[in-house]
Structure 1
């Protein structure tokens, strides 16, 4: 009860600040475009500072009214001339109106170097994390930057959580990826972060978006050319995790002439990684207790032919445009995973020692493409759009498992058991959609659309004994084919109910038809289900500085193809992962209330109820000391959450973005017919600092504390992590030098514990998040009008990538 009262106090606290007297105004440029993140200083007669403020994304600002007296106001923004008002008497609420700043040509040449473009900004329905031109992006992969995104947690297998909640859909340029967690991680690890423009976090999407993703959507937007002429870059970098080293190099070119634009990116890399881990298990069986202690070390590296991404858009006339994008990515993963396992009746007492030497190689190849058409129906913003997407993913994997058994107490000679696995698999995906948006009189909007997708997954896993030549192992060999068709349609309606109240509501219908065929045994699993997914959003603009948003949505998370495959993924003789063809989708009801103060500070109270939640579960076989991991359905999960987004401008050159998440989590499940409950209060705090230092050096610091939490039946322990990046721009030479250090103090450890009927399964993994990247980038441009380029720089500062 005390915790609930604390939540309510914190949630209602912002409204208490709304009645103080204040100075209000709005700042724009000469063309009337709002100036975001400009500084306003209230000066006394002796020029000392009395108070200050920073404009929001709409150019508005508010300063708490000071004691009665005479004051001046000074307005400053990067790339604009300072403006100082005449001295005037101020004693109560005052509306300063709209003021315009003039561009400063001398400063504009340095805008791209000196601007503190906000790393994170809140829009009406999403949080936007700007990646373009940040120090954190240089030398990193898209996967590494995604892992640092506020609220995002990624485990060792690539499974993503958002604000402590599983069930996340990842999109690229607004389109679903359709990939499993492992394949998505492989693709993002092969994509340089330099290709990203921003990452959008949409925790409560409208009906226009796919219903997939019970905790929300992460949308990765890639860079596009926006200015006339040609621009490009060439880069090279070195990276190390202090165990092994890699490198990266690549080039990009962007061209725009009139209504035609084209881009191409080519990247070549060698990425390295690994882990050091300990696994502790206690098995309580009918023959007594058996202790299992394992130490593991893994090393891997990815390399391959150049990754290529290209695309083009044609503005046929004022109304019609067409375009395409294509992406090719191939890499070869070579991994060494060694374990030493000690088993016995007591800790430190060995009956059996097993040394396992695993050698794996996997060639991953992905090709994706999109063709799109846009028809502008009128000048008000009504559009008809059509998209066709296709993807072809191929994996070719080989693995050798060398096991050495030493029966310590019996004195028997060391025995060997060698195994070999060959597992070709892949996906073919085709998806099409048509969307219509009508802008109607009275600030009303109507949206509707249809979508269909076809997915074919084919996984042929062949396992062999390899002691005296290859002998098929029928128990672990499996050929699984999966097909899935999704048909969807939606309507969405938005209209003002009054001057300060806006309603948006929608309904999405999706039908899923799937068929899983285990060719090895002839087992077939057919499914067909249709669901409705309503959404309701109500926005109340209480005052110019304060608004409240209410929202509700129903969403689902379908099992990915890998989790449905009953194939066993081998790790050691006593541990493997197994698919579950009977896995059901999970459904969620999400409610939230968000308060926005000054369009800058956000306070969200949320409630999420998830049924049939999917989670990784351990199946313990005590008498055999086996641990079988699989994804199963847990009965239900209830979460009450509080999220606060609090940006702070400490100095003109120092911006801070703070995000606090507090979740009260309750998971219910059945264990052998007995109802069990896991409860926890989860806390996560992130603080992102952006500093513009002397000599044109930009620094970024990302600190994160993740408190104890729940993941299915596991208890997750807390950890802290700090990332630091420095970037020096040599403007005249067109060079950028970046140094990026991840997990500086080597404190990011993944520690999970579970106890099922006295059977303990604990693991502690250090995934070598600590790393160092150094990148040198050369930027060039040709045929770009200087004034147009300058205008773009100022617009980017104002829009922050919007």
Structure 2
């Protein structure tokens, strides 16, 4: 019943707009029609922009009549002198006006071409977010979105792909305002399959308002893709080569087409990306009188093939209303070979064993995402309505073979073992949301919205021991798990000016969660909770150059669906990971004070308190010398942080963006009836230099340093790195050639430990991020600038599904 009513209401709005109109036709001095010119309606006496339209192919335009008042039309297009019409007065909603044929004269100043080259800031600061420029930078060429994300100030990624922001875990990653629904390794794989050359900028929002999903305790990282800004046909072709110990390639095509009321795009990416790892794992077992030593050398080769197709279109029904659709189709094929040599010496029992192991994984996953959306401006004073419907289907098939050879170093006997696993799974995610905004009073804006989502996930794990030609099912390590979850959410958000110097934004979001997990041959596990998430932002404009914002918000992180899965994921004879269906969501309260000087320099002070913080805990068993990795709720986590952004212009062609994050992280956890506190003072420094060199060369270099830090029970050692890239354009900027190098001194290795209760757990991993890249991009375009529709969509469930 609601859907027909909504459709009828929409038709009524469109029909009403068809009767009262401002019309006219635009031509040049030769009588030729001027399509896609801008016609703006300005209200007198202060020339405030009220509404507008773009001329059609024949030069005509049609604009719904504004509310009663006095107006003029401003008509402009590139290459022609801007023109203002005579003033006219609108009496009522039935008013009509035809300005006839308007002639624009060519602007003589555009007949001479002037080229000005300059650098642009790598980081800019706005009142509620930090924006990192990516488009056109030398380091973006040939890189992945994941690599660019690691370069964002305040971002730290651990060895499992978990993202921390300003020292806090729980950052949600969005693409064009749409949550990716990935976490951990799945998020890493997804972002590694996305070309950074399609990214415009990265937004870092450390304390989002109630309008955003409540998920993401440390904030939101929004990756904004490039959008079409030209009429006609335009786009680019790119190809690249990378070497990091193994060879890889990238290739892609972007097409955009704007004609009349249609704006369509198509992106195609193909890549073969090698990912190599070298590592060492050391464990010592001393609890309960044990005395054993585990030393493992690791060598991993992983190759990903990632074809992806993304296309969509928007249609302008009229100047105020548009409909659109976006489709994403992608496939990820991953071949992995993981070799390890493990020396296991149990001095208490006298058993000394050396294990040579090979893990071979063949994973195939597909992702189909479909979106329909409507954007409407319901009147001339800023009332808007946005509707979005999404369906996501994720499917994956994972086959693994584990070859183990045990050599008893006491008597030199050798035993072979062969294991196989089959792990298919799927996710179906349905989501719909509506966002409404209106002018509440003279200086106030009211926003409200609803969202409903439903997730169905089903995973199966079959574990086999292979003996001869026979495969025997190991029922203790096999399982099937089905999980369904529904979330109903609503929010209201108010923005208002309290005075000339004070602004207030206050909001409240409510989310009802209904979940049900059903392991095979076990009782169902039900999750049902309703939570409220308030947010308050109070901004003081101390002077024209100095602004202070005080903010508070409450946020939630739900466990991703993989973490709730009770499966046992085999790694080697002495190590495996295990899901935890009893995981509870974690809740975080965030307090911040953000100072902004000259709209350039920013100092943000913050405190965050997290209850039921969940983190991976390696539990070592001294009885059989095994280690089980399991995510669990620890007692609490506290974080004190300060973030400073200070750009500097050294020369006219040399800009430097500096970012410093300092803080204190404190975690408290109870393990084996013992309270363990993991505290650490940390700081992260990053400096990015953009330099214009002779011969039209552009240099971008980024140097970074991370001090020792912590997460959960882990302590991470310091790391530093230097990346650099050179870019030069040819053929009147149509062809870009880029040469880049990452981790030039091979210093960005991951070192850490998690030692407690007398046991020792240490590791070193280097993911071969040192690489050299050569990339070519050819750009073709034709037309004039126009305002592209925003295709941002907000989803959250897929982030926890481990795929998009």
* TM-score under structure 2 length normalisation: 0.83
The answer on whether the counterparts of 2:167 and 2:641 sit within 8 Å (CA) in structure 1 is no
Distance (whole Å) between structure 1 residues aligned to residue 390 and residue 124 of structure 2: 30
- The superposition leaves residues 44-101 of structure 1 with CA deviations (integer Å, 9 ceiling, x where unpaired) of xxxxxxxxxxxxxxxxxxxxxxxxxxxxxxxxxxxxxxxxxxxxxxxxxxxxxxxxxx
The within-5 A match list for 1:105-120 is 110-111=115-116, 114-120=117-123
Find the residue that maps to 1:470 and give its secondary structure.
strand
The answer on whether the counterparts of 2:120 and 2:655 sit within 8 Å (CA) in structure 1 is no
The within-5 A match list for 1:351-370 is 351-370=352-371
The answer on whether the counterparts of 1:616 and 1:630 sit within 8 Å (CA) in structure 2 is yes
2:502 is aligned with 1:497 = no
2:185 is aligned with 1:153 = no
Partner of 2:523: 523
The within-5 A match list for 1:189-208 is 189-208=192-211
- The superposition leaves residues 262-318 of structure 1 with CA deviations (integer Å, 9 ceiling, x where unpaired) of 1101111100002100000001255630000000000010114x3111111111101
**Which gives a bigger RCO, structure 1 or 2 (Cα 8 Å, sep 6+)?**
2
Partner of 2:439: 439
Find the residue that maps to 1:761 and give its secondary structure.
strand
Cα separation, partners in 2 of 1:552 and 1:142, compared to 1, 3 Å: same
Partner of 1:284: 286
- The superposition leaves residues 534-561 of structure 1 with CA deviations (integer Å, 9 ceiling, x where unpaired) of 0000000000011110000000100000
Q: How far apart are residue 329 of structure 1 and its match? A: 1.0
Distance (whole Å) between structure 1 residues aligned to residue 705 and residue 181 of structure 2: 31
The answer on whether the counterparts of 1:190 and 1:329 sit within 8 Å (CA) in structure 2 is no
Find the residue that maps to 2:695 and give its secondary structure.
helix
The within-5 A match list for 1:114-133 is 114-133=117-136
Distance (whole Å) between structure 1 residues aligned to residue 714 and residue 471 of structure 2: 38
Partner of 2:622: 622
Q: 1:268 aligns with which of 267, 270, 289?
A: 270
Distance (whole Å) between structure 2 residues aligned to residue 284 and residue 411 of structure 1: 26
The within-5 A match list for 1:509-658 is 509-519=510-520, 521-658=521-658
Q: How far apart are residue 163 of structure 1 and its match? A: 1.2
The answer on whether the counterparts of 1:342 and 1:350 sit within 8 Å (CA) in structure 2 is no
Find the residue that maps to 2:186 and give its secondary structure.
helix
Find the residue that maps to 1:498 and give its secondary structure.
coil
Q: How far apart are residue 156 of structure 1 and its match? A: 2.8
Find the residue that maps to 1:186 and give its secondary structure.
helix
2:706 is aligned with 1:703 = no
* TM-score under structure 1 length normalisation: 0.83
Distance (whole Å) between structure 1 residues aligned to residue 184 and residue 382 of structure 2: 37
Any gaps of 5 or more consecutive residues in structure 1?
1-30, 34-101, 793-802
The answer on whether the counterparts of 2:135 and 2:199 sit within 8 Å (CA) in structure 1 is yes
Find the residue that maps to 1:475 and give its secondary structure.
helix
The within-5 A match list for 1:467-482 is 467-468=467-468, 469-482=470-483
- The superposition leaves residues 373-407 of structure 1 with CA deviations (integer Å, 9 ceiling, x where unpaired) of 01102233320110112211111111100000000
Q: 1:136 aligns with which of 131, 135, 139?
A: 139
Find the residue that maps to 1:185 and give its secondary structure.
helix
Distance (whole Å) between structure 2 residues aligned to residue 680 and residue 720 of structure 1: 18
- The superposition leaves residues 427-456 of structure 1 with CA deviations (integer Å, 9 ceiling, x where unpaired) of 111111001011244221000000011111
The answer on whether the counterparts of 2:167 and 2:639 sit within 8 Å (CA) in structure 1 is no
- The superposition leaves residues 461-488 of structure 1 with CA deviations (integer Å, 9 ceiling, x where unpaired) of 1110013221111111111111111110
Distance (whole Å) between structure 2 residues aligned to residue 700 and residue 764 of structure 1: 29
Partner of 1:392: 393
The answer on whether the counterparts of 2:286 and 2:622 sit within 8 Å (CA) in structure 1 is yes
Distance (whole Å) between structure 2 residues aligned to residue 535 and residue 449 of structure 1: 15
Find the residue that maps to 2:168 and give its secondary structure.
coil
Partner of 1:63: none
Partner of 2:316: 315
The answer on whether the counterparts of 1:187 and 1:329 sit within 8 Å (CA) in structure 2 is no
The answer on whether the counterparts of 2:153 and 2:659 sit within 8 Å (CA) in structure 1 is yes
Find the residue that maps to 2:477 and give its secondary structure.
coil
2:682 is aligned with 1:679 = no
Cα separation, partners in 2 of 1:703 and 1:733, compared to 1, 3 Å: closer
The answer on whether the counterparts of 2:363 and 2:398 sit within 8 Å (CA) in structure 1 is yes
Distance (whole Å) between structure 2 residues aligned to residue 637 and residue 272 of structure 1: 36
The answer on whether the counterparts of 2:684 and 2:707 sit within 8 Å (CA) in structure 1 is yes
Q: How far apart are residue 508 of structure 1 and its match? A: 0.2
Q: 2:304 aligns with which of 302, 305, 323?
A: 302
Computed over aligned residues only, the root mean square deviation of the Cα atoms, in angstroms, reads 2.2
The answer on whether the counterparts of 1:283 and 1:623 sit within 8 Å (CA) in structure 2 is no
The within-5 A match list for 1:419-458 is 419-458=419-458
- The superposition leaves residues 122-155 of structure 1 with CA deviations (integer Å, 9 ceiling, x where unpaired) of 1121111122222121111112211211111222
Q: How far apart are residue 106 of structure 1 and its match? A: 8.8
Distance (whole Å) between structure 2 residues aligned to residue 370 and residue 156 of structure 1: 33
Find the residue that maps to 1:523 and give its secondary structure.
coil
Q: How far apart are residue 410 of structure 1 and its match? A: 2.2
Find the residue that maps to 1:144 and give its secondary structure.
helix
Distance (whole Å) between structure 2 residues aligned to residue 136 and residue 634 of structure 1: 39
Distance (whole Å) between structure 1 residues aligned to residue 156 and residue 382 of structure 2: 37
The answer on whether the counterparts of 2:495 and 2:505 sit within 8 Å (CA) in structure 1 is yes
Q: How far apart are residue 191 of structure 1 and its match? A: 1.4
Q: Which runs of 4+ in 1 moved over 6 A?
A: none
Find the residue that maps to 1:183 and give its secondary structure.
helix
The within-5 A match list for 1:369-388 is 369-388=370-389
Distance (whole Å) between structure 1 residues aligned to residue 270 and residue 587 of structure 2: 40
Distance (whole Å) between structure 1 residues aligned to residue 391 and residue 119 of structure 2: 38
Find the residue that maps to 2:147 and give its secondary structure.
helix
Cα separation, partners in 2 of 1:625 and 1:107, compared to 1, 3 Å: farther
The answer on whether the counterparts of 2:166 and 2:641 sit within 8 Å (CA) in structure 1 is no
Partner of 1:245: 247
Distance (whole Å) between structure 2 residues aligned to residue 522 and residue 147 of structure 1: 41
The answer on whether the counterparts of 1:319 and 1:375 sit within 8 Å (CA) in structure 2 is yes
Q: 1:182 aligns with which of 155, 180, 185?
A: 185
Find the residue that maps to 1:756 and give its secondary structure.
coil
Distance (whole Å) between structure 2 residues aligned to residue 357 and residue 615 of structure 1: 28
Partner of 1:234: 237
Distance (whole Å) between structure 1 residues aligned to residue 248 and residue 351 of structure 2: 39
The answer on whether the counterparts of 2:167 and 2:665 sit within 8 Å (CA) in structure 1 is no
Find the residue that maps to 1:755 and give its secondary structure.
coil
Find the residue that maps to 2:646 and give its secondary structure.
strand
Partner of 1:259: 261
Partner of 1:717: 717
Moved more, 283-292 or 144-153: 283-292
Distance (whole Å) between structure 1 residues aligned to residue 351 and residue 705 of structure 2: 38
Find the residue that maps to 1:351 and give its secondary structure.
strand
Partner of 2:217: 214
Distance (whole Å) between structure 2 residues aligned to residue 227 and residue 251 of structure 1: 16
Q: How far apart are residue 518 of structure 1 and its match? A: 0.6
Q: How far apart are residue 622 of structure 1 and its match? A: 0.7
